[in-house]
Amino acid sequence: MNIDEILKKSRNGDVLSRRELILLLDLPPDSPEAYLLMAEANRVSKDVSGGKAEVHAQFAVNLAPCGCDCLFCSFAGINNIFSEATELTAVQAVARALRFEADGANAVFMMSTARYPFERFLEIAGEVKKNLQPATTLIANVGDQTLKNSIKLKDAGFAGVYHALRLREGVDTGLSAAGRKRSIFNFKEAGLEVGTCVEPVGPEHTSEELAEMIEFTASVNPAYSGAARRISIPGTEIAGRGMISELRMAQIVAVTRLGMPRTVPGNCTHEPCTLGAIAGANLFWAEAGANPRDIHAKTEEGRGVTVAGCQALFQESNWDVLCGPSHFYNRGAHGTGQRQPDRSAADPAAKHGPVIPVG
């Protein structure tokens, strides 16, 4: 099967097979075929999201050396980047959330390290929720959870979570793949929308591993999938493996889009970049406070990008940015991503505009 046949399948609204995903992942990132692939992924992303990209914004509730020791994480105790534990007060957390809301983030994320006390996280979430506009989308990025705790997150007002089965989970991380998957199923059973990603991609990951992970993310019908490269933390052992280029990441972002059913409206990448956006990424994150890819305790002084910065990157890439609460995390309310199959091949008139009513 050649690239034209594969892209024709995508234009017909079909999800690609693992063999086809591998073939696309094996393309040289700077080949003409890879650019065709990125253009097709961009078309599909615009179609399923009504041409509206989203910017979500995350702040960390705490910063602490973490015993889970994921090799790529600056919080990992084994990496010796941070030695002291600090946490926000509820007042500080509310201020962070209100700042993001005022900046126009489509969703506000609260993150904690895996071992942060869950009840404390809920307490702070209660204060944050009380102070945000009722329509503002609040998302949790926390460690593995039972079904009981997942229901508590839902009851606390979270619309969804971010949770990923990381590449080489259990090998490069101190957590188990089975536990990560179980948490994703618990979140879904509790009624939380799950956003996920193929991450953190390094040069050592094979096309077969990436394709398998793309298929796993598709299997949970997430609010969004996508791809993010590993950022080297200076001085760590894993930094010796190197980093993939933004262009290679963009290619993987594009392949991930074509491996998702059309019911999945979002396609994320991190860190934000125009190459990712032109390859079909329609979700970026702004960040403040602690960040597992940064050696600065305040990532806004380091790698973190602001909401306005993310919006500008989308605009430079010919994307409109959604105004208001996330459609990706509120699929039921907006019908986002629900349209299928894609009619663009059968109906040329459908090629040029969004079919889903969004806005």
Residues that bind ligand SF4 (CB under 6 A): 66, 68-70, 73, 75-76, 113-114, 173, 292
CB contact at 8 A, 306 and 103: yes
CB closer to ligand SF4 out of 52 and 229: 229
Least gap, CB of 313 to ligand SF4 (angstroms)? 25
CB contact at 8 A, 187 and 163: yes
Least gap, CB of 244 to ligand SF4 (angstroms)? 19
Query: Which residues are CB-contacts of 80 (< 8 A; sequence separation ≥ 6)?
Result: 235
Least gap, CB of 339 to ligand SF4 (angstroms)? 35
Query: Which residues are CB-contacts of 171 (< 8 A; sequence separation ≥ 6)?
Result: none
CB closer to ligand SF4 out of 114 and 358: 114
Least gap, CB of 222 to ligand SF4 (angstroms)? 19
Q: At which residue do the structure tokens 């126009």 appear? A: 104
CB closer to ligand SF4 out of 217 and 317: 217
N-term to C-term CA, the chain: 39
CB closer to ligand SF4 out of 50 and 292: 292
Three-state secondary-structure class, residue 76:
strand
CB closer to ligand SF4 out of 162 and 319: 162
Distance CA 181, CA 346 (A): 37
- Dihedral of the alpha carbons of 336, 339, 345, 347, in degrees to the nearest 10: -100
CB contact at 8 A, 233 and 262: no
The neighbour count for residue 103, using CB atoms within 10 Å, is: 16
Distance CA 125, CA 158 (A): 9
Least gap, CB of 73 to ligand SF4 (angstroms)? 3
Least gap, CB of 260 to ligand SF4 (angstroms)? 24
Least gap, CB of 89 to ligand SF4 (angstroms)? 21
Please compute, for residue 187, the number of CA atoms within 13 A of its CA located in the half-sphere on the CB side.
Answer: 29
CB closer to ligand SF4 out of 35 and 116: 116
Please give the full DSSP string across 171-221, using - where no structure is assigned. TTSSS-HHHHHHHHHHHHHTT-EEE--EEEE-TT--HHHHHHHHHHHHHT-
Least gap, CB of 139 to ligand SF4 (angstroms)? 16
CB burial of residue 225 (10 Å; 0-12, 13-18, 19+) = buried
Query: Which residues are CB-contacts of 18 (< 8 A; sequence separation ≥ 6)?
Result: 211, 212, 215
CB closer to ligand SF4 out of 68 and 355: 68
Least gap, CB of 182 to ligand SF4 (angstroms)? 15
CB closer to ligand SF4 out of 73 and 167: 73
CB closer to ligand SF4 out of 77 and 261: 77
CB contact at 8 A, 209 and 202: no
